């Protein structure tokens, strides 16, 4: 009976242990699975012609002839969109009509003065013509200003009654009549009473179309990279198309009730106008205007990014994270092993040592932001300037701060690993004539190496993923690739944080944030896997395999 109970207890414990491992694995997959899945979207997605153009212009990738042919193909369809917008804008945004009218009048006055000088016209004739031209100009400006269609037509008809005057038509004032005819067509096609409403919606339409298709070929190149190209991803293009086709409004459906957000079709706003044709044109031809195709963007891990992480990859962030992590380990591991060796081999369990161990355990639980403030005060503002190094954030200051952060973990793991080495190993070494120091270096440390590596693995994971300690000491959101360790750097953890707390741009590039998180997870896994492989080989060597 006793054996049966013991076997039952052993099997139950084994089952509970296995179930715990399964639950832990499931929880890990539940947390990391969605992050990794979304992060993959930074590399595998449907790219557009704008992405391929950006890759060629910024990184020199792709075939120029193929890209040129595709751009020529899409430009033919895009031109229809631009023409519709331009034609409608001419009647809604009358500022261009106003500027052209004033320019024509100035040219007209200069021509009159020249005609008087060369004797073609007398001063009396020139004065009479200038008076007529001024009246025509004023009536045109009145036509532009009014929102009453009948009043606008009366002013335009007054202007056109002078179109038979040969002197006026021969001078630059003849352009007045072309403007009057052009604006008359606008008045007949647009409800002028809704001009302000149209103008506000038109600005939003223009902005969305520009985000979708990018700037026109004849426009000046914008200074910021995010405005130099249209939608580079098909998923982003579909979101913009939805914003173009639908407008959100807050309305009060019942008196006394709170406002409610509804969606209305933009085509209904512009019903009866030429611009109403724009929306079905965009909906039916967007794929032809952007030419989406599946892309594996593996260069995401090595490419630099534009300010705000709108385009590009995480190359500098990966480099910065590696530099900070590895440099912090270079500092923390020797100090941690030395301290652990002293505590395990050179001291007795007295009050002083217990205080030291208490301090180490306390440091292991201190919030990371406290280490960041310490690094700012001690390394950035005091120690490094004292050594003649530049004052400010740097890779060196961040690595030293991270080293202090992970030092308690390294010390505790190393001390326990050293204590776990069998006493017989040390006794055998001492019996063969080796001193205590040589025994520690040649026998104890190699035997404790697997346990020490376990602490290093935990430290690497923490150092690579910390944001608060490097927030004040090493990290920047935008900057060049560092050339020395006395310069600040971009990192994956801080880059993800910067996007998360960023402005409206963050909502437009969620794949960049998930991509950074995915890259950080992969980087930590690779570093840990490397350390685990090294630990496994050491264990095999110790077992004589």
- List the domains of the chain with CATH numbers: 49-85+193-291 (no CATH), 93-190 (no CATH), 315-542 (1.10.3720.10)
**Which residues does 231 contact at the CB level (< 8 Å), separation at least 6?**
48, 50, 211, 212, 213, 237, 240, 290
Sequence length of the chain is 545
Longest alpha-carbon distance in the chain: 133
Q: What are phi and psi of 295, to 5 degrees?
A: -135, 140
Q: What are phi and psi of 501, to 5 degrees?
A: -100, 10
Residue 147: name the closest of 84, 95, 92 by CA: 92
H-type alpha helices, 118-147? 123-145
CA angle 291, 297, 299 (to 5 degrees): 135
Q: What is the CA radius of gyration of the chain?
A: 37
Q: Are 496 and 521 in contact (CB under 8 A)?
A: no
Give the whole-angstrom CA distance, residue 400 versus residue 472.
Answer: 13
Give the whole-angstrom CA distance, residue 197 versus residue 172.
Answer: 34
Q: Helix/strand/coil (H, E, C) string of 279-310?
A: HHHHHHHHHHHHCCEEEECHHHHCCCECHHHC
Q: What is the DSSP letter of 312?
A: B
Token pair in block for residue 216: 């026109």
pTM to 2 decimal places: 0.79
Q: Are 203 and 244 in contact (CB under 8 A)?
A: no
Token pair in block for residue 280: 């079905």
pLDDT in tens, the chain (545 residues): 667 777 777 778 788 888 888 888 888 788 888 888 888 888 999 999 999 999 998 888 888 899 999 999 999 999 999 988 887 877 677 778 888 889 988 998 888 888 888 888 888 888 888 888 889 899 988 888 888 888 888 888 888 888 888 878 888 888 888 888 888 887 877 777 777 778 888 888 999 999 999 888 878 888 878 888 989 999 999 999 999 998 887 776 667 677 777 788 888 888 877 788 899 999 999 999 999 999 999 999 998 887 777 788 899 999 999 999 999 999 999 999 999 988 888 877 788 888 888 888 888 888 999 999 999 999 999 999 998 888 889 999 999 999 999 999 999 999 888 888 888 888 888 888 888 888 888 888 888 888 888 888 888 888 988 888 998 899 888 888 888 999 999 999 888 888 877 656 666 778 888 889 899 988 888 888 888 888 888 777 777 65
Token pair in block for residue 125: 């004739």
For 68, other C-beta atoms within 10 Å of its C-beta total 12
For 487, other C-beta atoms within 10 Å of its C-beta total 18
Query: What is each CA distance from 374 to 383, 399, 469, in whole angstroms?
Result: 12, 13, 9
How many CA atoms lie within 13 Å of 248's alpha carbon, on the beta-carbon side?
A: 5
Token pair in block for residue 173: 């004032």
Residue 343: name the closest of 329, 332, 357 by CA: 357
Q: Are 285 and 74 in contact (CB under 8 A)?
A: no
H-type alpha helices, 41-165? 49-59, 64-92, 95-117, 123-145, 149-160
Beta bridge partners of 246: 265
């Amino acid at each position: 009976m006793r054996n049966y109970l013991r076997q039952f207890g052993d099997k139950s414990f084994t089952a509970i242990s296995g179930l715990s491992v399964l639950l832990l694995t499931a929880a890990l997959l539940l947390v990391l699975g969605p992050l990794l899945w979304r992060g993959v979207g930074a590399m595998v997605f449907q790219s557009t012609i704008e992405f391929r153009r950006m890759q060629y212009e910024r990184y020199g990738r792709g075939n120029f002839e193929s890209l040129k042919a595709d751009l020529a193909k899409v430009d033919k369809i895009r031109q229809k969109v631009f023409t519709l917008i331009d034609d409608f804008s001419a009647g809604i945004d009358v500022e261009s009509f106003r500027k052209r009218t004033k320019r024509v009048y100035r040219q007209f006055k200069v021509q009159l003065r020249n005609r008087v000088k060369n004797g073609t016209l007398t001063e009396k004739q020139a004065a009479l013509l200038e008076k007529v031209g001024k009246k025509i100009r004023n009536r045109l400006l009145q036509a532009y200003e009014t929102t009453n269609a009948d009043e606008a037509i009366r002013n335009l008809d007054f202007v056109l009654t002078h179109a038979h005057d040969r002197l006026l038509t021969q001078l630059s004032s003849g352009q007045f009549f072309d403007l009057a005819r052009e604006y008359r067509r606008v008045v007949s096609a647009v409800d002028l009473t809704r001009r302000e409403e149209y103008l506000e919606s038109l600005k939003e339409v223009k902005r969305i179309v520009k985000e979708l298709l990018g700037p026109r070929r004849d426009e000046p190149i914008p200074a910021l990279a995010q405005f130099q190209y249209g939608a580079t991803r098909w998923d982003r293009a579909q979101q913009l198309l939805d914003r173009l086709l639908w407008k959100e409004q807050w309305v009060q459906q019942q008196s006394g009730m709170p406002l409610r957000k509804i969606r209305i079709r933009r085509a209904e706003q512009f019903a009866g106008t030429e611009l109403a044709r724009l929306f079905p044109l965009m909906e039916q031809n967007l794929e032809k205007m952007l030419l989406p195709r599946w892309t594996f963007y593996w260069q995401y891990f090595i490419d630099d990014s534009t300010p705000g992480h709108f385009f590009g990859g995480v190359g500098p962030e990966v480099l910065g994270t590696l530099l900070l992590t590895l440099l912090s380990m270079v500092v923390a591991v020797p100090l941690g092993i030395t301290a652990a060796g002293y505590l395990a081999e050179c001291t007795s369990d007295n009050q002083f040592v217990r205080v030291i161990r208490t301090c180490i355990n306390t440091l292991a639980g201190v919030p990371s932001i406290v280490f960041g403030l310490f690094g700012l005060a001690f390394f950035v503002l005091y120690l490094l300037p004292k050594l003649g190094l530049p004052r400010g954030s740097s890779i060196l200051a961040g690595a030293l701060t991270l080293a202090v952060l992970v030092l308690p973990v390294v010390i505790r793991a190393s001390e326990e690993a050293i204590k776990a080495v069998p006493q017989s190993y040390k006794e055998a070494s001492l019996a063969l004539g080796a001193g205590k120091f040589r025994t520690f270096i040649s026998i104890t440390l190699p035997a404790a190496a697997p346990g020490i590596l376990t602490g290093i693995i935990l430290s690497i994971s923490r150092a690579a993923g910390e944001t608060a300690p490097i927030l004040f000491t090493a990290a920047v959101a935008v900057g060049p690739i560092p050339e020395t360790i006395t310069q600040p750097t971009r990192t994956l953890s801080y880059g993800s944080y910067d996007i998360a707390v960023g402005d409206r741009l963050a909502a437009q590039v969620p794949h960049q944030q998930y991509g950074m998180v995915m890259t950080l997870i992969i980087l930590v896994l690779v570093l840990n896997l490397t350390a685990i492989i090294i630990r496994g080989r050491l264990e095999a060597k110790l077992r004589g395999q």
